[in-house]
Structure 1
């Protein structure tokens, strides 16, 4: 075959392939631009001289069929109301005081709407679980009582209502038995985390390890919500009571990073400071670094306030090294003439008066504290510390003997002798009385 003939045949093949591709393209266009959704429809008009085509050119072609939304099953009124409540509560976890103030009014409104529903509404498992979520999430027991009195509840879900009501009315053993039948992982999202949180509260006294597992589950089932915030708070203090310092540190850092602006963070900080002193920083210096790691996660102003809380809690529990350390850290973060600085100096001085060799330093610092910058609780602490310092000095041994006495019986010049055991015991009793007085005056 001549070379010229082969070239001609090759050109014919190429032309055929081009025509086939063009035909496939024309056949495909109607299915995409002008079809009826089932692969049929009319062919799109051919491209004109300006390059326009059906539905892709200058806008004169057939418009594309709008995308229909995915079908969503309608929800009952209880489900929608509970969803609204939980969205508001999630804003509380993020620090909205307005949401916190609005919560009570919304709870009352939702309760009225749900109580007005006919008994037949509660034959739906979806509505029933929403009612339980509402009751456990702050709505209280009234709705559950009405449901048990008037509605014919599904047999499989009736123990859920009875158990939730038992929990809200303080019948813990019954609630533990009934709610223990349900796996939170099988419940709808609105109820799952709340149920795990409730089950943890019922388990914490007898089986704290089980409570920790349930709190972990609640956090997994409801991330970023008020349920997670509450579960994290509770788990931190279970670990503190159990002495698990490592887990306590990990979870506390999580809370301080993610929920430090929660409306409930103030209560958390008070308990957190007390829990820190229970971890015995006095006997384990490595835990001082642990404390610093936790508090370094937050801004200087909040860190200063937390150090003040730790110092105060350390005084109340007799942890003088913890109190001294935390007060000094707070003082380094406070302005020189601020209320925070006055409190830090007070807490440091109150701790120093019972430290061997630092009594005079502590007493001088107590006398220099500016009373005008203290609230009534701290003023009571200052007066109690000064009283204790006076008792310590009154119980000390007599001054150095006359010059003719032997040298070994004389105290070195410039040094105050350490009080004997009896005076130290009296000082501790005075501190205990001061602590009781502080507990009565502390808001």
Structure 2
């Protein structure tokens, strides 16, 4: 466990020393390890003895206030979370609490500086919560030009969406400092997603453009994928999902992404468009086999829950090919495949045999419940219906013979019971 020193400069230095953060090339080279060529003309003009160069004076740099330094420290930590650092994720809560306390205790005069107000807004929107903004606004020192930003951010965090939209709508994220710009665009997008999804997508694009490689970009891309999925744009969904799986699949938040991703895949209706099966394979080929197997299992389960039999069957079979024969993932894959087969035309017996071959001890509790429900459904399909046995026979067709009336009605009733049983199992209305 890392022992964090929460003095801003010390913590920033410690983070910068961690792997993945590389030092820039020095001014004495061109970034490729080679020194610049010597200027021989000066030596020639002075008989081979050039005048001593004047020392280069550093450019004046204005020192930033404490809120800016603290917020930059938080963002460095969060960017490591986007790259998969669980240590950074564990440290984040402690750091958020420390920064909030420091901001609350700050001299009220500090809020007269616009950059400090913007830093506090950045902190609040990045997970810090509303407490510091309440203190800032109560001080009465914030510049008038910065008050809509602070008031809008506070309204957003307190759930007053209409007021937040009104306050933040007129602020262009591109006019904000780099640390705040992407975070503001992400917040504006969240406020627009229900009423204007197209505008929300534009703001997510902007957030990604303004904060590349950061946790802001990771979050914007993750949200964008699901907004696109709800709109049914399969082509853009595929392109964005491939970007996420290539660049952020190790993010600490990727587990949550995969659960929602599996559900989004089934909403795109792979059953009615077989070309999307190839699209699904292209997306999942971006990740390593074990993670790919787990995603196929999630897709298969979601397919069963949403009544997408073909999607469930396809994903379960792909998962079986990636699982060790006697492993729990292999048992899961056989379960999902069997549950899909019992309601597939002509494959009832195959599905039933698959389900009966499974041992409940090899399954997690939710899957054991699914096995029980699937076997119950199979028994209902097999058992003749009393209603069907007494129903009158339909009139014969003059063109071709039909099956015996009892058999036909039993088949129809069995299919209807199967659909009702599947609906009851999955909660489908």
Distance change (3 Å), C-alpha of 1:430 and 1:292: same
Counterpart pick for 2:333 among 339, 344, 354: 344
Distance change (3 Å), C-alpha of 1:157 and 1:409: closer
Partner of 1:80: 69
Distance 1:386 1:158 in 2: 62
- Aligned-pair distance for 1:379? 0.5
Distance change (3 Å), C-alpha of 1:180 and 1:410: closer
Distance change (3 Å), C-alpha of 1:22 and 1:236: closer
Q: Secondary structure at the match of 2:144?
A: coil
Aligned residues: CA RMSD: 2.1
- Aligned-pair distance for 1:213? 0.3
TM-score (norm 1): 0.81
Counterpart pick for 1:26 among 46, 49, 54: 46
Counterpart pick for 2:261 among 269, 272, 291: 272
Q: Secondary structure at the match of 2:46?
A: helix
Partner of 2:148: 159
Distance change (3 Å), C-alpha of 1:96 and 1:25: same
- Structure 2 residue 300 is matched with structure 1 residue 335: no
Gap regions ≥5 residues in structure 2 = 1-40, 390-399
Partner of 2:14: none
Distance change (3 Å), C-alpha of 1:217 and 1:408: same
Partner of 2:115: 126
Distance 1:377 1:389 in 2: 19
Taking the TM superposition and a 5 Å limit, the aligned residue runs for 1:367-382 are 367-382=356-371
- Aligned-pair distance for 1:140? 0.3
- Structure 2 residue 341 is matched with structure 1 residue 321: no
Q: Secondary structure at the match of 1:157?
A: helix
Q: Secondary structure at the match of 2:304?
A: helix
Q: Secondary structure at the match of 2:141?
A: coil
Distance 1:151 1:424 in 2: 70
- Aligned-pair distance for 1:419? 5.0
Q: CA contact under 8 A between 1:357 and 1:418: conserved in structure 2?
A: no
- Structure 2 residue 406 is matched with structure 1 residue 423: no
Partner of 1:256: 245
Distance 2:262 2:192 in 1: 25
Counterpart pick for 2:100 among 93, 99, 111: 111
- Aligned-pair distance for 1:151? 3.0
Q: Deviation digits for residues 27-57 of structure 1, max 9, x if unmatched?
A: 67443xx24x2xxxxxxxxxxxxxxxxxxxx
- Aligned-pair distance for 1:427? 1.6
Distance 1:22 1:203 in 2: 62
Counterpart pick for 1:433 among 420, 424, 428: 424
Distance change (3 Å), C-alpha of 1:22 and 1:198: closer
Aligned residues: 374
Partner of 1:10: none
Q: CA contact under 8 A between 2:324 and 2:330: conserved in structure 1?
A: yes
Q: Secondary structure at the match of 2:259?
A: helix
Determine which structure has more spread, i.e. the larger CA radius of gyration.
1
Distance 1:201 1:155 in 2: 25
- Aligned-pair distance for 1:202? 0.2
- Aligned-pair distance for 1:25? 2.8
Q: Secondary structure at the match of 1:336?
A: coil
Distance 1:256 1:363 in 2: 36
- Aligned-pair distance for 1:409? 6.9
Q: CA contact under 8 A between 1:356 and 1:418: conserved in structure 2?
A: no
Taking the TM superposition and a 5 Å limit, the aligned residue runs for 1:337-416 are 337-395=326-384
Q: CA contact under 8 A between 2:43 and 2:50: conserved in structure 1?
A: no
- Aligned-pair distance for 1:370? 2.4
- Aligned-pair distance for 1:107? 0.2
Distance 2:49 2:70 in 1: 47
TM-score (norm 2): 0.84
Distance 1:196 1:271 in 2: 23
Counterpart pick for 1:170 among 156, 159, 171: 159
- Aligned-pair distance for 1:391? 1.1
Distance change (3 Å), C-alpha of 1:119 and 1:22: closer
Runs of 4+ in 1 over 2 A off after TM superposition: 21-25, 27-31, 67-72, 395-398, 407-411, 416-423
Distance 2:335 2:153 in 1: 48
Distance 2:402 2:224 in 1: 57
Distance change (3 Å), C-alpha of 1:235 and 1:410: closer
Partner of 1:282: 271
Partner of 1:307: 296
- Aligned-pair distance for 1:436? 3.5
